[in-house]
Structure 1
């Protein structure tokens, strides 16, 4: 089991962090194709915050958001309207707010499960809160933030986070791929 002092995990094998960013981007594309409008940016942001150095986490979220937008506009046929572009931008801003909230949790002294859960919950609140605030400026359906929709978004993100943590734990089990890093996350 990974310990708190091993977070964020630093690449020991060449290309591990880059491979993880590619995995995050690939997951974003696959989940965007599968789930269309509910890409699990909270899961992607929270897991990236916990397992990657800060700069790589930012890169992972940026690439995941860009990949999601490309799939949406070039494959799924999102409408080419001002409000569609504005919502895409709002989602990107919310994804980075989720990452910032998750990174803020890393300052707390806790074991890995508590850290991951805290990063996820903080990221979810930031993400949904920012998107809810965007409804004051952008057109939105009346039920966009109904309890059932928010619960569905939470479930999809929770399942994606569990899958990503499992995938990372499997990769880290080789111990030759990652090394522990003591101290706060470095930029």
Structure 2
């Protein structure tokens, strides 16, 4: 009975081990770093004020090394501000510049929070996806708290209504899920290629 349980768990252990190897490979690759940075920057073309900084911050923090995650999100934030003050004609006032810094701070905090990557059990794969869900919700609350606190000093608290907050969260969640699925596809492909390489040898 004991041996049958071990045998039944061995495929799951192998899957988890392959996933962890693939995760490390994708995490360290320049391709994923550049792709995520490009996608985050291009999202600024679709959005202006409600750019999905939280969604991308969660994915970056959970799938990239610490410094690369910060570099990705600061690039995304900078592109957002650059487009805002040029193409979208943001008013060049101290208040607007300060709000830009507030958004940057919130983005940085979300990325740093997600970079913690705690373990929730034996399976690194299960821990990863569970942490993505927790970090998305917790990161969004943290981000909005930063904006709310700034709003008391800079103005704009009246924008904190449930429909608006829910809409912004939904947009961030959609981006996080979409980019997270793309990351999972890369993990699967990397794992498949590694398995084929082992079989050839």
Question: Normalization by structure 1: what TM-score?
Answer: 0.82
- 2:175 is matched with 160
| 1:113 correspondence with 2:129 | yes
Larger RCO: Structure 1 or Structure 2 (Cα < 8 Å, ≥ 6 residues apart)? 1
Tell me, in whole angstroms, the C-alpha distance in 1 between the residues paired with 2:32 and 2:86: 25
Contact 1:8 1:53 in 2 (8 A): no
Tell me, in whole angstroms, the C-alpha distance in 1 between the residues paired with 2:21 and 2:86: 37
Deviations 1:108-128 (A, max 9, x none): 425232111012112111111
Contact 2:106 2:143 in 1 (8 A): yes
Tell me, in whole angstroms, the C-alpha distance in 1 between the residues paired with 2:26 and 2:178: 23
- 1:33 is matched with 45
SS in structure 1 at match of 2:160:
coil
- 2:20 is matched with 6
Tell me, in whole angstroms, the C-alpha distance in 2 between the residues paired with 1:138 and 1:127: 16
Post-superposition shift, 1:65? 0.9
Tell me, in whole angstroms, the C-alpha distance in 2 between the residues paired with 1:51 and 1:7: 13
Tell me, in whole angstroms, the C-alpha distance in 2 between the residues paired with 1:119 and 1:20: 20
Unpaired segments ≥5 residues, structure 2: 1-11, 195-201
RMSD: 2.8
Change (3 A) 1:32 1:39: same
Tell me, in whole angstroms, the C-alpha distance in 2 between the residues paired with 1:9 and 1:74: 38
- 2:5 is matched with none
| Greater helix content | 2
Which has more radius of gyration?
A: 2
Contact 1:101 1:126 in 2 (8 A): no
Which consecutive segments of 4 or more residues in structure 1 shift more than 4 A?
1-5, 176-179
Tell me, in whole angstroms, the C-alpha distance in 1 between the residues paired with 2:110 and 2:183: 20
